[in-house]
Amino acid sequence: MTFGTRLHAAIADRGPLCAGIDPHAALLRDWGLADDVAGLERFALTAVEGLAPHVSVVKPQSAFYERFGSRGIAVLERVVAESRAAGALVLLDVKRGDIGSTSQAYADAYLDASSPLAVDAITASPYLGFGSLDPMIETARRHDAGVFVLALTSNKEGPEVQHARVDDGTVAGRMLDHLRALNEGAAPLGSFGAVVGATIGDTGEDLDINGPLLAPGYGAQGGTVADLKRIFGAASGAVLPSSSRELLRAGPDPRALGEAARRVNDELAGLAR
């Protein structure tokens, strides 16, 4: 079963919310935890306990685990395994992008089912040229995984590259064209998605790529259901609004985390309509 098929079923069953599990040092302190490996483990696994049974996708940000070295990566492995055991798909936010054998090594690390860090999908940067992602795309195809490609991000530096003109369009538009081609003919949903910020203005781009659309910035960062409908229009049914801080501030009680996830999914129930 392809990633797109699994994701489509998960959204229908659990709603579109993607829960970020990002152990910022400030959030660890807010939960009364030390900024060390023990605090990381308590935070991350409590977040999984509270959120993973209620959302379609869990999205750990790899950097917040990597900063603790090998022991942090070991916690990340547990986050992946326990999130999947709770029925959630795992999208690892790593934003990798390189060429040749290095790109293939990243693909093997995250998308090959035999890897201890294998996940359902990853984020990737195409700005060494979309073709640089070919090893990730092909490895994802072999293992029924997914790749979310940065397209229109909400950081203030993004337009310098993403809005640059190329031929008769923009660089971001070219990335979306590549994804549309990869997803052509896929049903019910393609496996290759775009990352489009939930707080950006009108894009002027065709966001219907027959694939999923990860929308970071929902909730505490300002994105609303009205914003999502305005930005994505007819493609809103394929949107995965991502929230981290708004959900995690409900902790450390796992029940409160679960209630926060259910509340946000209720808010998003009308997104596809």
Relative orientation angle of helices 37-51 and 254-267, to the nearest 10 degrees: 50
pLDDT of residue 203: 82
pLDDT at 85 exceeding the cut of 80: yes
Q: Could you please report the per-residue DSSP string of 15-77?
A: -S-EEEE---HHHHHHTT--SSHHHHHHHHHHHHHHHTTT-SEEEEBTHHHHTTTHHHHHHHH
Q: Which residue has the higher pLDDT, 168 or 187?
A: 187
pLDDT tens digit sequence for 181-204: 999 999 999 999 999 999 887 888
CB 3 within 8 A of CB 188: no
Q: Residue 268: pLDDT band by 50, 70, 90 thresholds?
A: very high
CA–CA separation, 137 vs 231, rounded Å? Answer: 26
Using the CB atoms, write b or e for 107-125: b if 16+ within 10 Å: bbbbbbeeeebbbbbbbbb
Residue 96 Cα to chain centre, angstroms: 13
Average model confidence (pLDDT) across the chain: 95
Share above pLDDT 90 across residues of the chain, in percent, rounded to a whole number: 89
Question: What pLDDT score was predicted for residue 8?
Answer: 97
**Secondary structure class of 156 (helix, strand, coil):** coil
At residue 38, what are phi and psi to the nearest 5 degrees?
-65, -40
**What per-residue confidence (pLDDT) applies to 219?**
80
Q: How far apart are CA 138 and CA 111, in angstroms?
A: 10
pLDDT at residue 273, rounded to an integer: 58
pLDDT at site 270: 78
Mean pLDDT, residues 217-231 taken together:
86
Per-residue pLDDT, 261: 97
* 156 included as an active-site residue: no
pLDDT at residue 110, as a whole number: 98
Q: How many residues does the chain have?
A: 273
Q: What does the H/E/C string look like for 101-155?
A: HHHHHHHHHHHCCCCCCCCCEEEECCCCCHHHHHHHHHHHHHCCCEEEEEEECCC
Run of H or E including 170: strand 169-170
pLDDT of amino acid 56: 98
Residue-wise pLDDT tens digits, 33-58: 999 999 999 999 999 999 999 999 99
Mean pLDDT confidence for 236-261 = 95
pLDDT of amino acid 187: 97
pLDDT at 168: 85
In which residue are the tokens 């902790």 written?
251
